[in-house]
A and B are shown apart, each in its own frame.
Chain A
């Protein structure tokens, strides 16, 4: 019978295609965290997340908002002296969390991504209002008023799409997607 993988091994598997395995290669220098423009909004810095993976702190890693606060700017990846693509690691952790942690409270980033993928599967192109609208009502009244003013301003200047644009061959795009994911249970 197959032995259950440790959390560190699972994460290492997740990154097997990466040039430099973050779990093994990281020297804990903290340059990634120092260069991250969103680190102030993370419960754990990128460096700390790697240390937590090594320590087997699966529950804490899955509960952290760190990777959902990552904007995918790759500043960390360019800085890392060990050549670790830290931003790609953050992407991987998002996927892992969605895969293994979906029963927990879903962070807005995860919800947004699922909505986005459904939109592309349906229309073939993105459609900003459908993506942003569900989150507006979760904000305070003043934010909402600001948002409405901005939206009206954009609308007046012809910058807000009223309807999504569907690509002509969207059925064929769906078949392409279906080949990659035969189970079809996207998001």
Chain B
């Protein structure tokens, strides 16, 4: 069994509790053990960087140091946390002065960053580490005929990482195909949902969410699949406001990829947190049930 340090991130404690539950269930079913980091702290999201970049890096450094104590690569299901931890690790490894400075601070908590563990997104772990062949082999209830829009969002792809093809990703589509679903060609799949602008600049965020929902609907998506708790909240919980603002009638369920994979593996929906949505996926999931 593969084991990883698991960093859920703040949203998964409540707002995205179904992501947490489905991540744990689906990972276990695929032979992946997720060991939650003891006493992890917030990664800084985007807002902390507006105030102080060095401190935001230190927040991630503390979590990375905790993962190093466990001696396991760290995996997170949140794209924002992933981006922050990935680049904190890169910056600290490339800049010994920065690492020394941050380590002086971390010593207050008896911790040290050495850069010995890697940072992975859970979606990446499923596709690259578990592998699509293995996932396909374990599928017992393929989501046959379900048209799913793979919504990448931003932080899982960008900014640029060495060797990454951030402008032509296929891994989300490939995963959906592996579980028997039909990935819809969704041109805006890597366009931003507005992130925290939903709080600080509502008109901008609603217009960004509207563009995404319209594009998914135009391509006959029945479900949107996400890999980020903030994208899920923006696309699902604000559909009512989008509908009122733009005169649309979207009722498009937005599920985490871990829920879709879990369903295909035969895990009961309630154990995946299905049923806690504001836009119920029950009608479309009924099509692939049984």
Contacts and interface: CB of A to CB of B under 8 A. Distances in A.
* Size range of the chain B interface in the assembly: 35 or more
Contact of A177 (B105, B208, B237): B105
B183 interface: no
Interface stretch (B116-124, B194-202, B261-269): B194-202
A159 B51 contact: no
A68 B192 CA distance: 15
B85 to A, nearest CB: 15
A55 interface: no
Contact of A108 (B110, B190, B200, B237): B200
Interface stretch (A4-12, A24-32, A43-51, A131-139): A131-139
Contacts of B196: 71, 112
Contacts of B41: 120, 124-125, 167, 173
A125 B44 CA distance: 9
Given A143-B241, A158-B17, A168-B39, A181 B197 contact: no
A91 B50 contact: yes
A73 B278 contact: no
A168 B197 CA distance: 31
Interface of B: 10-11, 13-17, 39-42, 44-55, 58-59, 62, 101-102, 104-110, 154-155, 157-160, 166-167, 190-192, 194-197, 199-205, 207-208, 211, 237-238, 240-241, 244, 275-278
12 contacts: A37-B191, A69-B197, A71-B196, A73-B191, A110-B50, A114-B51, A120-B44, A125-B42, A146-B240, A154-B15, A158-B17, A159-B17
